[in-house]
């Protein structure tokens, strides 16, 4: 009885939480692949506009099929070269006010290395109002920069012939308000030890085996709380986010 009562209460007033949108096979090859909630209540897809330069996020009330989207939004991000996909949704019971998370992935390859990163843009869809982009944050980054160009370099680097940069962040919803309060926590590390893309690693003293460890970058390992500001119609952090382009710009 207690379990049933708890489940009933949770279904009436659950706290908003990010739900992962699952891809649904497109009806025809070459068509944009929609992603939906588990119950298929909401679906979304991202496709290019008529200029083939901008991305359009479309929200559907149910499976797309032959129906028109409930709303569409031209994504304002300048990263048009990235790969976009619907990533997550925030919703609440008995309401058509939803927040979609559009995830953008960037990749780059260069001589002896490469990298990739991802960002999440939250777009709020409110009935009777134009969709609004309310937050964009980096979610991940992984880069390898070549640091050896010969045998002498290999000796100087103790065999660690790449500088490595790793960034991982998590965005969570808290509380029962809508839009909810968001917490953002990131961790950034470099290897071997503390390295920087703005410095020549070979200009440093030779490495030893004890130097071959990951180092946490305290400046880019942060925790922030975002609250929604009705005046600006956007999320505002309790402190500015640092510039972590070394990790999030391939």
212 falls within a domain: yes
Kindly indicate the confidence band of residue 52, based on its pLDDT and cuts at 50, 70 and 90: low
pTM comes to 0.87
Burial class (CB in 10 A: 0-12, 13-18, 19+), 70: middle
pLDDT tens, residue by residue, 85-124: 999 999 988 889 999 999 999 999 988 889 999 999 999 9
Average pLDDT, the chain: 88
pLDDT computed for residue 165 by the predictor? 97
Band of residue 29 on the pLDDT scale cut at 50, 70, 90: low
pLDDT at 14: 57
On whether residue 244 sits in a domain, the answer given is yes
> What domain count does the chain have?
1
In a domain? residue 51: no
Question: Does any domain span residue 87?
Answer: yes
The whole-angstrom separation of Cα 105 and Cα 81 is 9
Residue 9 domain-assigned (yes or no)? no
Q: What is the pLDDT of residue 113?
A: 87
Which domain does 171 fall in, by range? Answer: 81-248
32 domain-assigned: no
Residue 196 lies in a domain: yes
The average pLDDT across 174-187 equals 95
Residue 161 domain flag: yes
């Amino acid at each position: 009885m207690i379990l049933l009562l708890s489940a009933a209460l949770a279904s009436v007033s659950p706290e908003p939480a990010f739900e992962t949108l699952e891809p649904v096979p497109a009806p025809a090859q070459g068509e944009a692949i929609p992603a939906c909630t588990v119950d298929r209540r909401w679906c979304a897809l991202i496709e290019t506009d008529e200029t083939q330069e901008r991305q359009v996020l479309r929200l559907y009330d149910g499976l797309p099929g032959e129906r028109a989207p409930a709303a569409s939004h031209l994504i304002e991000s300048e990263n048009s070269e990235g790969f976009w996909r619907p990533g997550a949704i925030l919703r609440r019971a008995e309401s058509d006010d939803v927040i979609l998370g559009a995830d953008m992935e960037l990749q780059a390859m260069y001589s002896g290395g490469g990298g990739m990163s991802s960002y999440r843009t939250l777009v709020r869809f409110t009935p009777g109002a134009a969709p609004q982009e309310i937050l964009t944050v980096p979610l991940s980054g992984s880069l390898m920069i070549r640091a050896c160009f010969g045998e002498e370099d290999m000796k100087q680097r103790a065999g660690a012939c790449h500088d490595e940069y790793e960034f991982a962040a998590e965005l969570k919803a808290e509380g029962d308000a809508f839009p909810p309060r968001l917490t953002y926590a990131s961790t950034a590390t470099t290897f071997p030890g503390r390295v920087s893309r703005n410095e020549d690693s070979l200009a440093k003293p030779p490495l030893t085996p004890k130097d071959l460890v990951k180092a946490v970058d305290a400046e880019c390992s942060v925790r922030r709380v975002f609250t929604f500001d009705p005046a600006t119609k956007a999320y505002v952090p309790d402190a500015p986010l640092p510039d972590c382009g070394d990790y999030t710009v391939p």
